[in-house]
Chains A and B, each alone.
Chain A
Amino acid sequence: DGGITQSPKYLFRKEGQNVTLSCEQNLNHDAMYWYRQDPGQGLRLIYYSQIVNDFQKGDIAEGYSVSREKKESFPLTVTSAQKNPTAFYLCASSISWQGRNIQYFGAGTRLSVL
């Protein structure tokens, strides 16, 4: 089955700890994205990558880091510098169809602070 797999589904972070959220896709999509969703709010872009070994900051990149060493994988690290990390994190990938960007999402990871 083709799709986007995020793990873990739930994650807890201690004070001062870095944690890494996994995102894997087998859709052969070039572009991948990380969003954050807070309760009652829309999706805000953290980082995106349009090609392997390249990534760009989104609207709220501070306190986060990413890597894109393989086409299939785009892990997100929530660092201790992110002071308010509790949120629902969504990974997406996209295919360009007739010049348009349609993004497909994973099931999400809920991060909480202990």
Chain B
Amino acid sequence: DQQVKQNSPSLSVQEGRISILNCDYTNSMFDYFLWYKKYPAEGPTFLISISSIKDKNEDGRFTVFLNKSAKHLSLHIVPSQPGDSAVYFCAASGSGAGNMLTFGGGTRLMVKP
């Protein structure tokens, strides 16, 4: 049973507009969430994270929102750029340094010029 789900396999957005990528989780023990970006034939790169004590974390054009009651998080990219075209994975873990990351299936974002 998938504990972290990204229900949209793909998303297409016009350059300059907002991209919103969504992620849902089922395990209430998850309290730390991360977003990774992956280009084809490369490893994922860490983008941004959020702890469950917050509901928003911002880093430049990237903002992650967490709704604990809904067990839902989203990544907003504003403004979207063609170089943002990639697969985005959300990941979750429980508290403690040794806990593993559980990854969603990914969403392919295409930003059109």
B43 touches A90 (CB 8 A): yes
Binary B-proximity of A16-54 (CB < 8 A = 1, otherwise 0): 000000000000000101010000111111001010000
- Cβ of B101 to closest chain A Cβ, rounded Å: 6
CB-defined contacts of B74 to chain A, threshold 8 Å: none
Stretch in A62-70, A76-84, A105-113 touching the partner: A105-113
CB-defined contacts of A90 to chain B, threshold 8 Å: 43-44
Is B96 close to A, CB under 8 A? Answer: yes
A43 touches B89 (CB 8 A): yes
Given contacts A43-B103, A108-B41, A108-B43, contact A50 B98 (CB under 8 A): yes
Given contacts A99-B95, A100-B49, contact A42 B44 (CB under 8 A): no
B49 touches A42 (CB 8 A): no
* Chain A residues close to B by CB (< 8 Å): 4, 6, 31, 33, 35, 40-45, 48, 50, 58, 88, 90, 92, 96, 99-108, 110
A103 touches B42 (CB 8 A): no
How distant is the Cα of A41 from the Cα of B51 in the complex, in angstroms?
25
CB-defined contacts of B9 to chain A, threshold 8 Å: 40
How distant is the Cα of A42 from the Cα of B100 in the complex, in angstroms?
15
Is B32 close to A, CB under 8 A? Answer: yes
A48 touches B34 (CB 8 A): no
How distant is the Cα of A108 from the Cα of B99 in the complex, in angstroms?
23
